[in-house]
Structure 1
Amino acid sequence: MGEVISCLERGLVKEAEEQDGRHTIKDECKRAIMRVAELSSDDFHLDRYLYFSCRDDRERFCENTQAGEGRVYKCLFNHKFEEAMSEKCRDALTTRQKLIAQDYKVSYSLAKACKMDLRKNRCNVDTNLPRAREARLSYLLLCLESAVHRGHTVSGECQGEMLDYRRMLMEDFSLSPEIVLHCRRAIETLCSGLHRKGRTLHCLMRVGRGDKGNVENLCQQALQTLIQEADPGADYRIDRALNEACESVIQTACKHIRNGDPMILSCLMEHLYTEKMVEDCEHRLLELQYFISRDWKLDPILYRKCQGDASRLCHTHGWNETSEMMPPSAIFSCLYRHAYRTEEQGRRLSRDCRVEVQRILHQRALDVKLDPELQKRCMTDLGKWCSEKTETGQELECLQDHVDELVSDCRDVVGNLTELESEDIQIEALLMRACEPVIQSHCHEVADTQIDTGDLMECLVQNKHQKEMNDKCAVGVTHFQLIQMKDFRFSYKFKMACKEDVLKLCPNIKKKVDVVICLSTTVRNDTLQDLKEQRVSVKCRKQLHVEELEMSEDIRLEPELYNSCKQDIGRLCPSVAFGNAQVIECLKENNKQLTQRCHQRVFRLQEVEMMDPELDYQLMKVCKQMIKRFCTEADAKNMLQCLKQNKNSELMDPKCKQMITKRQITQNTDYRLNPVLRKACKADIPKFCQGILNKASDDNELEGQVISCLKLKYADQRLSPDCEDQIRVILQESALDYRLDPQLQVHCTEEISRLCAEEAAAQEQTGQVEECLKVNLLKIKHDSCKKEVLNMLKESKADIFVDPVLHTACALDIKHHCAAIPPGHGRQMSCLMEALGDKRVRLQPECKKRLQDRIDMWSYAAKVAPAEGFSDLAMQVMTSPSKNYILLIIALGVCVLFLVGLLCGRITKRVTRELKDR
């Protein structure tokens, strides 16, 4: 008789699993079978087939278990997958469990423990469901679990029974008819031969993730339903496969958390991809989290803290109720959109809910498959662009790298996620782990705050080159900076500070780099025009400056410059590392060898840096200590000017001094790179040097031609006072270092290497090269170089300060004999010349010798220098040794012309009065 009943039970179970519409067993028979099973659920001995199948196994595993109240059943269920369990008993137990899945009353212990809770929570009065559906174990579990989540009391005994049967469902996939029916193909082809101790189910979950092929939609839905029924998120021990795989990790990394606490899963996620995680646990954890992440209710802590906010903001229903308008997968998206709203935007999440939303976002950032919306919308793009990205976190980075090329739906979700990261970079858990040393050393105060608002990333960028920074962190920070360049919204602080200015001044511009250029150009133009009220707001200008400083550190953060110079970088700077503005500095040093396009971009960059030296990353880095020493009170715009004034101080750092000299050389190549000179001489330049300006292009250096033009006018004393002061400074600086005179370098490079190689090689330049060229003036072969040296002599005659060798030699004499004479316009030089001609005055021997040398040089210069105007021509005639002869010839010429006119009369023919009167 027992075998007949067992056969009918197996037939009933098979019919439920097939669900093909064929009913081989009549309803009356079904009810009778279930009634018999229910009656035998109290005592193991009443189920004769199971009794005889498991008699030996009972003695082996449950010898001390008392009969009655379903205790023997539970004991055998717990040992079902022991190796010593006979296959016949295991099959009989599985059949019994399947019957329980169809009607919970077949389990005596469960029906008894939960009888009152079912009645109290009205779980058996749903008139919309047929009686058979209402009796299903899954319905019981979902109804009571929903009551627990609503805050209703469910007895501890009932919850214990529920826990046992939820664990049972997770152990054996065959107890879920939907899994057996819809996942049959995947089980046979991809998960066959696996032990059923939860491993077959995890294999299906892995296939559902896409790690091992693909499953049909109905199978995917069946797996999702099973996870909801079993609810392993509430207690990890329900998932036996996960429990066994992660036991060692839990004992080491999560031992501070109470056993069975829902936070165990969160703790395991925090240690994902760390040294404490083991590979098997990692796989089981990701497989489970994949399905938990697709229904926000399956994370009990998130649900408990956010159910009020979700009901208020996202129009959700109860724990076990769904809505087509707001499916479970969309609820979390709704929550995180409200989590990062400002107070002005209103409708924000509660603080506790916001913390949990951040926790989930941190977990999802570990694996792109844990973000349902991202995976759904970006499936095509992941296959197209990121199929080779297999390492942790690479898929999201890949999508961000190709954000402009993604389909619109994917681009939107990646853009939203990146925008979210810009406000709270701690979402990037892997990056935070890599950057832990830097955060602890330099950014711990920012990291400890609940609300990030972009401060942590800004701190990491500022400390990007600290000794605590490792390669992984540096690469991650740089990657995020590069992604921010694609859209100004990806930089939270910049977006919040400048969104109104962008809408007003830079509409329809999306890329951050273009927005920065647009706003900074506006600020620059307003500054040059001395507008009283800047068009860009103060808060935006402040943040704009921060963004420009960040961009100056790595050429890749300025895409137009980088793309224009990519070929030159490969050719001239192949081994130079990005970061610390090293590539930019390399391009500046190889300025003459750059392609036209790159040269123009570098020139524009230098023009911006000279207007705001703080954007000159290398200068600020090398001279950081000197700025603190000499320029603490100087305005940021005048930082380079301050450093130049203190360049020759004994306390000046040699490396900083060398960097200042580099920038001076750059400035002197073009007046546009010297904002102070440009402002002081804005009237003089077009007045005296318009011809040079007409020949120049907008983005190429003038090789110092304008400054040379102004130098000559300085010698002629024709400049305005402000311009004269600036040119005097340039003359003094270039007189000490020939490298600061571009025109001298252009025309005299060959002569310097031939005549003054030793002086040019000196590490410290104090005017030796200029003096060498003056001394060897007669040996100079090239006329263009000779002209430059003659110009130097002319300039020194106008101001002794631009002749450092003569000034040093005569400093004492100037103090004694010319102290009352103001410098400039050749006054002190004239004073020394008078002193040299006065026999009563005794000059220092060195000064006297140098003065006599200068007189000889000026005399020679007067002979060979071409006259540049009538005044120069008259001066040369008057100072010429053949002055009388030249004047005599000129006088004779004038007399001859007078006599010819007097003697020859009119050239035209006389006309009679009659002809005139006609």
Structure 2
Amino acid sequence: LKKPSKVAKKAEEDEGEEKEESADADEADAAPAKKAKAAKKASDDEEEEADAAPAAKKNAVGEDEDASADKEDEEEAPATKKKSAAADKDKDEEGGDDEAAEEDKPSKSAVAKASAKEEESGDEEEAASEKVTATKADDDESADAKVDKAETKAGQVAVSKEPPQQSSATESPKVPATAWKSKNQTRDDIDPQGACKRDIKLHCQGISPGEAQLSLCLVFHIKNEKAGNEVATIAVSKKCRAEIRQFRSDMYRDLSMDKAMATACKADITKFCDDDFLYPEPGNIIACLREVKQVEKLQDACLAEVLRHQMEAADDFVMDPQLRELCSGEADRLCKGVEPGEGRVQNCLREHRTKLAWDCQAELFRQEVENADDIRLNVRLFQACLNDQRKFCADVKYGDARVKDCLEDHRLDAEFSPGCKTEFEKMMARRATDFRLDSRLRKYCKADIAEICYPDAEDISDVANYDAKVIQCLQDYRDELKDPKCKAQVHKLTEREIDIRFNKPLADACQADRTTVCKDAPDGQASVFMCLQDHMAQLKEACRNSVFEQLVRMAEDIDFKFPMKKACQSELNKFCKEVPHGHASRIKCLQDRIDDADFGEACRKEVQSDLVRSAQDYRLNYRLHKACLPDIQKQCMHACDAASANGTATCGGMVLKCLQEKKDKLESPSCAKEVESFSLIEAKDPLSFDVPLQTACKPDLIKLCPDVSRDHARTLSCLRTKREKLSTPCREEEMRFSIMEASDIRLTPSLMNACGQELQSLCRDAPPTEGQAFKCLQEHLEDVGMGAACKGEVNLQEARHASNYRLDVRVRTECEEDVTKYCNGVDAGQEGHALVLKCMVGSFKSLSSSCQSEVSYAVRMALFQYHKGAELTQPCDQAVEELCNTGTAASTPVKEINGAVIGVYGQCLVSQKRNRLPEDCRTLVKLVAKEGAYVGGTIDQNKLEETLAKLKELQEAAATTAGGGGMVVRHDTGLVISGWLAAAALAAVVVVSIAIGCAVYYKYFSPTRNYTLVVKSAPGATGV
């Protein structure tokens, strides 16, 4: 690389040459001054005309400029000839330093001439210059409020009264000797006598030509024109604009013409871009500085110059040397009628992306990537959002996409302007197509992309991919990302994707379905996506799968579920304020509090809908998915095969069903906990949350229960009462759910609601699982503290247990092998008729001891909670009617006096002589007696006293009901004893009968045992 002749001249000269140059300069300074005086009179008329022009045109910015253009053409003629001559002279001149010296002289002459003219103009010129400069400074503040340090420096260069001086002691940066030189310009500024002569006099008085100062001044005024500032009341002419555009475009292709950037960036060029092979052209050096700006920190002065260049290039593509070289032809061909400026040509080229040459596409995308971190480099967006930026983000510094993030946070605010919102959402949609357009994602995730998403990153080309592969990779592996800033950025982009416009893969996959299934869903926020997820069954396979993948990503955090987050703000602050984000923790918090009295209805509806949706597939339950993945792979690998074969995106709850059925075999405690949590939710409304049950029983509900409202109590009860009429799939699914329900008392909401207080006071220490809590309630049925509602619900559940052994979790667990061994021939379709329990009673002696104990307990409780017509105790119905139904009135059985009296019938049957009982009933009673309170040759005095007391209460109640006191009445057939006397007599009879019965049984019926019987009974269990 060689140093540019104009920029490096002072650094190359020795002290002697400097003195000689100084002397030559003095002579040169004097000559222009004399010429200026001579020319002053000749130009008086012209100056008066120019001075009068502003006053005449002050309020006529939009007037036709044809007349002015004709005059400018006449003024341009000598300037054009002069420039032509200068160009021919430059073409003929040869030599390195000599050529540089010749090129420098016109610039010095122009500077000296302007200086002399300024001196002669006196205080009037100086005052006018200062006034213009001050006005420009004020307007600069108005047009570009709150700019950062770099932009401020760039603006200062534009309005400086004097050009910045370069120290002769500072060595200029190197620029290649092959630097391209404009054929239209021979100096480092626009021609003061050219097409911009009038505009220079109007807008840039006091600005010395050189170092692009005049062009900067006019660019500044053009900028103010667009902003509508008062200082720019007279528009810069079109011909002048064209000359400025040509000059500045050429300047950025030749760094020697941009002395300000060459000086400010000398150190950075030396440090980063001093390579002849990589950067052979001056335009390449500017490209190098732009690239360095993305990853390194440039010096402040250089950063300001690079930013100035980027802002001009963002406004007009020809200011970018590479873009101008590779896209000018495409612009002429495809965007011929598009006016340059405000990024219009670049936007036009992107709209015709498929018609562009590959190199042009690459350069266009390269500029877009480089400009992504600063809103000022997106001209249309910056202009559309300037007022919103001042309103919402006044204190936010430019750079690192900070202003963009701030505006995005306020995008949905009511005061956000529609124009800014529209333009901003266009930018967001564009950014979603390629991770490189997200400057923070590109910066923070560089290492993670290289390590985790290497295959996808390797496939990306120099042009925009429009497939978001790397973004999807980062989302799919977000738990493995190492950089916290990268995780945060991935979280943010996932949050945006609830709006389909910012989710390129989803938008592409569902383009057709969006216009058919969801044609009425408006754009914006989550409307389209919510419609798609609510109609998944109607979607085409590609769209359905894409929607499902997005739902899986969204399951992690409530931030991704915009409707729920919006509806539940109050509940989140009230119930979940301290709960951290991530791992669906805040979603779980809302689910746990959904039944609270002060839980809002709108939030409850959203949480309920989300629960129904997550029940469709285990992957939509983030916590369960993460906790159970190893167990799923081991225990339920093929549970989803059937659903997959049908082409559905979800598993239809089959994996969740598998996990519930194999809960005891799960290896992960956290998985078991999550399965339990899901089951508790499912139990509240099984026909909504249990997808297999819902699917199997939907036709049965329509057919058998058409008028029943859809809630847990009524619909499920309807199905169970019509069990004989259910279809086989529905009957099987109902039984599966019932078995799961019986295994944990918490899964039976009706029992929990009826017995909540009793469970707290009487069964606090009993675990809810394995039937322990329910057994405790059974054993306290006679307690005074147990309410009638709880007794009724326990009786109802016991009746169901007695009808099917699988609903008795302890019998099912302890007798599994015995059932297979001795009762395998029982028709499974008839198991609701207690056939298996009857089979086990018949094979009682062959059963294992643990199974015997549970079967005996089951039969004892069936008799203890006797229900007429129950399948298991039906053989004893006649005996109960004949021997135990003794009330004061034939129509009022003992059991129904003062409500349900529990245990009386069982005690009555046990106390009867065996030969008075039917054979099948005798078998049941015999089995109960072996395990009950009457085993052995002695009578349990406590139990007897309890029985007598109950009978006494019963008779007192009967007497009260009959309306009589304690008296003896003679009847035609004998004596009728009533009142307390009858109770005493009856008690005596019962005591004697029990004693005799036990003695006879023990002597004649009890088998001879050569072992000691161990009675399995819960603590405090009452006898039958």
* TMscore range, shorter length: 0.5 to 0.7
Partner of 1:292: 371
Taking the TM superposition and a 5 Å limit, the aligned residue runs for 1:77-476 are 94-96=180-182, 99=185, 102-105=188-191, 111-112=194-195, 114-119=196-201, 122=203, 124-125=204-205, 131-133=209-211, 135=213, 137-150=215-228, 153-165=235-247, 168=250, 176=258, 178=261, 182-183=268-269, 189=275, 192=278, 205=290, 209=294, 222-231=305-314, 233-234=315-316, 241=323, 244=326, 262=343, 265-266=346-347, 280=359, 283-314=362-393, 330-341=402-413, 343=414, 348-372=415-439, 390=457, 392=468, 394=470, 398=474, 421=496, 424=499, 426-437=501-512, 439-446=514-521, 448-449=522-523, 451-452=524-525, 454-462=526-534, 466-470=539-543, 473-474=546-547
Shift of 1:404: 11
Residues in 2 aligned to 1:410 and 1:774: alpha-carbon distance in whole angstroms: 64
- What's the CA shift string for 1:722-761, capped at 9, x where partnerless? 446545654565566543332332232222212232436x
- What's the CA shift string for 1:220-275, capped at 9, x where partnerless? 655433222334x4568977647856989999xx9999686946645776899xx9
Distance change >3 Å, CA 235–CA 156, structure 1 → 2: farther
Partner of 1:516: 587
Partner of 1:835: none
Distance change >3 Å, CA 888–CA 588, structure 1 → 2: closer
CA contact (8 A) 1:677 1:723 kept: yes
Percentage of pairs with the same residue: 18
What code does the residue aligned with 1:741 have?
Answer: D
Distance change >3 Å, CA 311–CA 770, structure 1 → 2: closer
For 2:826, what is the secondary structure of its paired residue?
helix
Distance change >3 Å, CA 656–CA 743, structure 1 → 2: same
What is the alpha-carbon root mean square deviation over aligned residues?
5.8
Residues in 2 aligned to 1:713 and 1:735: alpha-carbon distance in whole angstroms: 19
Residues in 2 aligned to 1:580 and 1:560: alpha-carbon distance in whole angstroms: 18
Larger radius of gyration: 2
Partner of 1:591: 663
Residues in 1 aligned to 2:631 and 2:593: alpha-carbon distance in whole angstroms: 30
- What's the CA shift string for 1:860-904, capped at 9, x where partnerless? 233343355557989999699987856999xxxxxxxxxxxxxxx
CA contact (8 A) 1:715 1:794 kept: no
Partner of 1:781: 847
Match of 2:806 among 736, 739, 757: 739
What code does the residue aligned with 2:568 have?
Answer: C
What stretches of structure 1 of length at least 5 have no aligned partner?
1-8, 55-89, 317-323, 527-533, 811-819, 828-851, 890-918
- What's the CA shift string for 1:519-549, capped at 9, x where partnerless? 443444x4xxxxxxx2333333333334444
Distance change >3 Å, CA 184–CA 541, structure 1 → 2: same
Partner of 2:677: 604
Residues in 2 aligned to 1:22 and 1:739: alpha-carbon distance in whole angstroms: 112
Partner of 2:158: none
Partner of 1:47: 87
Residues in 2 aligned to 1:17 and 1:293: alpha-carbon distance in whole angstroms: 38
Residues in 2 aligned to 1:326 and 1:284: alpha-carbon distance in whole angstroms: 24
Shift of 1:675: 0.7
For 1:802, what is the secondary structure of its paired residue?
coil
CA contact (8 A) 2:742 2:748 kept: yes
For 2:602, what is the secondary structure of its paired residue?
helix
Residues in 2 aligned to 1:455 and 1:287: alpha-carbon distance in whole angstroms: 34
CA contact (8 A) 2:506 2:547 kept: no
Residues in 1 aligned to 2:852 and 2:819: alpha-carbon distance in whole angstroms: 12
Report the count of equivalent residues.
759
Partner of 1:860: 923
CA contact (8 A) 1:50 1:93 kept: no
Shift of 1:590: 1.1
Partner of 1:802: 870
CA contact (8 A) 2:822 2:843 kept: no
Distance change >3 Å, CA 602–CA 824, structure 1 → 2: farther
Point out which structure has higher relative CO (alpha carbons under 8 A, 6+ apart). Answer: 2
Q: TM-score, normalised by structure 1?
A: 0.66
Distance change >3 Å, CA 475–CA 535, structure 1 → 2: closer
Match of 2:636 among 552, 573, 595: 573
For 1:192, what is the secondary structure of its paired residue?
coil
Residues in 2 aligned to 1:105 and 1:711: alpha-carbon distance in whole angstroms: 106
- What's the CA shift string for 1:97-143, capped at 9, x where partnerless? 5956711118x8xx31x4444555x2x14x6x654346454554454
Taking the TM superposition and a 5 Å limit, the aligned residue runs for 1:589-738 are 589-595=661-667, 596-613=669-686, 614-616=688-690, 619=693, 630=705, 634=709, 636=711, 638=713, 641=716, 644-645=719-720, 648=723, 650=725, 654-682=728-756, 690=763, 694-696=765-767, 701-702=769-770, 704-707=771-774, 722-723=789-790, 725-727=792-794, 729-730=796-797, 733-734=800-801, 737-738=804-805
- What's the CA shift string for 1:837-858, capped at 9, x where partnerless? xxxxxxxxxxxxxxx9x93222
CA contact (8 A) 1:296 1:329 kept: yes
- What's the CA shift string for 1:182-239, capped at 9, x where partnerless? 546655649737789x7886677566556xx9988877655433222334x4568977
Residues in 2 aligned to 1:787 and 1:626: alpha-carbon distance in whole angstroms: 38
Residues in 1 aligned to 2:472 and 2:14: alpha-carbon distance in whole angstroms: 43
Residues in 2 aligned to 1:440 and 1:21: alpha-carbon distance in whole angstroms: 78
For 1:694, what is the secondary structure of its paired residue?
coil
Shift of 1:666: 0.5
Residues in 2 aligned to 1:582 and 1:754: alpha-carbon distance in whole angstroms: 30
- What's the CA shift string for 1:431-481, capped at 9, x where partnerless? 4334545544544444x33x42x4445445545675445487347514641
Distance change >3 Å, CA 476–CA 673, structure 1 → 2: closer
Residues in 2 aligned to 1:249 and 1:766: alpha-carbon distance in whole angstroms: 81
What stretches of structure 2 of length at least 5 have no aligned partner?
33-75, 95-175, 461-467, 641-649, 879-889, 898-914, 945-989, 1005-1024
Residues in 2 aligned to 1:632 and 1:215: alpha-carbon distance in whole angstroms: 76
Residues in 1 aligned to 2:27 and 2:697: alpha-carbon distance in whole angstroms: 90
What code does the residue aligned with 2:606 have?
Answer: Q
Residues in 2 aligned to 1:328 and 1:119: alpha-carbon distance in whole angstroms: 40
- What's the CA shift string for 1:376-402, capped at 9, x where partnerless? 677788789878873646369748976
Distance change >3 Å, CA 353–CA 757, structure 1 → 2: same
Residues in 1 aligned to 2:606 and 2:518: alpha-carbon distance in whole angstroms: 19
Distance change >3 Å, CA 307–CA 716, structure 1 → 2: closer
Shift of 1:859: 1.6
Residues in 2 aligned to 1:278 and 1:640: alpha-carbon distance in whole angstroms: 66
Distance change >3 Å, CA 611–CA 46, structure 1 → 2: closer
What code does the residue aligned with 2:662 have?
Answer: N
Residues in 1 aligned to 2:666 and 2:16: alpha-carbon distance in whole angstroms: 82
Partner of 2:154: none
Distance change >3 Å, CA 19–CA 430, structure 1 → 2: farther
CA contact (8 A) 1:426 1:432 kept: yes
What code does the residue aligned with 1:586 have?
Answer: C
Distance change >3 Å, CA 271–CA 649, structure 1 → 2: farther
Q: TM-score, normalised by structure 2?
A: 0.60
- What's the CA shift string for 1:332-362, capped at 9, x where partnerless? 4443343232x4xxxx221111111222222
Deviates more, 1:16-25 or 1:502-511: 16-25
